[in-house]
Amino acid sequence: MMWTILRRKAASAGSSNLVTYGTNKYLGTVRPALTGSMSQSYVDTILTPEAPTLGRNPKSSRQIHQGNLFLFQQKVNAVSSFKTDFSTQMSSRSFSSDSGDLVDAVVPFMGESISDGTLAAFLKKPGDRVEIDEPIAQIETDKVTIDVASPEAGVIQEFVAKEGDTVEPGTKVAIISKSGEGVTTHVAPSESPTQDATAKVEKPSPSPPSPPPPKPEIQPPKAAPIQSTPKPSATEPQLPPKDRERRVPMTRLRKRVATRLKDSQNTFALLTTFNEVDMTNLMKLRSEYKEAFFEKHGVKLGLMSGFVKAAVSGLQNQPIINAVIDGDDIIYRDYIDISIAVGTPKGLVVPVIRDAEKMNFADIEKTINSLAKKANSGSLSIDEMAGGSFTISNGGVYGSLLSTPIINPPQSAILGMHSIVNKPMVVGGEIKARPMMYVALTYDHRLIDGREAVFFLRRIKDVVEDPRRLLLDI
């Protein structure tokens, strides 16, 4: 509530002055006030009941002003109490006990593109001893499996989450006691002899049975007409019993694979072309130099490195296969990152060989060996599977003779390898047994024409059948 004294005579204490109160003006008697302060007597003097007013009751104005002073005092008290409470709250500690003995094991950061995961399994039990950074639980995401590690060495006091829960980074999973205090193990109490004796109560012997009453004579019922049970019609399906079925929820990795492959079918114009490759020379090269290769590089020489080098040569000759459609544009990649499809018990993962065009046979074999071990152990990171410009899938290790692989989005093509089978082939006018492999290239026909796809597959065939082309660059 604001008021302004527009004019006042300082000499006369009882002189009339023009006072503005809100939007109304009245004449009031003004008394001298203390300098630098506004006393209650000064307010009472301005709002005195006997002062003549214009358009406002001075008594009600005084009550309004006093009420506003009361509300203002309440706000000041509230701010003071808030400061006290806030300072008290800021000084308290969280996520630990008063003694600092308890620590929380929380879900770690899972990657830029992953916001949550499923608590797949606990690796420990309450009461187990754990060391620092020892995994106690596994979080399954759309791409990888991540471990929840213990932040301190101690004993697991309890789990605060359940298997199957959806958790986010920072979610509390378990409570660790550094000293092991307060951890109780539930043991079933043994039965005491007293309880056994109490439980065994002699039952009273049953009274002798009374003789049965005489049975009344009952006439045999008349034979009812035989009704034939209706046979099920031929159109009714015979469903198996429910006790012979099992319902298991899909894992997050399997859901992700299913979604991406279905999106690939719905988005791309998929087309597959085939060819067959004579593996004689590559297998001969492997058998002749495998021991020397292992002694120098520490890894075995496999067939996959030969196909990776052949794919690099084919992608350099046909850059459109290494490109991708982005809206109304085509993105040509000046690098070659080869994705290798690896089947694991938990699902299909696709780690990436970065800058494959800069690698030799040894570098490729070492990278494949390292990625395969991580894939089987479930320790692949998001960065090791992100990106990729072309994929190779080797179904031949499982015995596949022929298949049509599906493109791994957002790539534009995928090469499928298959099993090696001895077949009669015409070589130099003679029929000879040769180790042959069918290869398949599935490509996005919106971007890649059949001409480029066939030329690419022919380059794969030429390099694998004669690896000396790589040395001579022909």
- Beta carbons of 123 and 154 less than 8 angstroms apart: no
Q: What is the rounded distance in angstroms from the CA atom of residue 455 to the CA atom of residue 248?
A: 45
Radius of gyration of the chain (CA): 43
CB 180 within 8 A of CB 202: no
Where b means 16+ CB within 10 Å and e means fewer, 168-181 reads ebebebbbbbbeee
DSSP 395: G
3-state secondary structure 441-474: EEEECCCCCHHHHHHHHHHHHHHHHCCHHHHHCC
CB atoms near residue 126 (< 10 Å):
16
Distance, CA of 311 to CA of 276 (rounded, Å): 15
Query: Which two tokens mark 343?
Result: 């089947």
Three-state helix/strand/coil letters over 289-339: HHHHHHHHHCCCCCCHHHHHHHHHHHHHHCHHHHCEEECCEEECCCCCCEE
Structure tokens at 399: 């015995």
d(CA 157, CA 128): 8
**And the tokens for 271?**
């087309």
Question: Who's near 368: CB < 8 A, 6+ residues apart?
Answer: 302, 304, 305, 308, 340, 353
Catalytic residue numbers read: 445, 449
DSSP string computed for 14-64: T-EEEEEETTEEEEEE-----TT---HHHHHHHT-TTS--SSS-HHHHHHH
- Give the residue ranges of DSSP H helices in 91-200: 193-199
Task: Answer yes or no: are the C-beta atoms of 166 and 117 closer than 8 Å.
Answer: yes
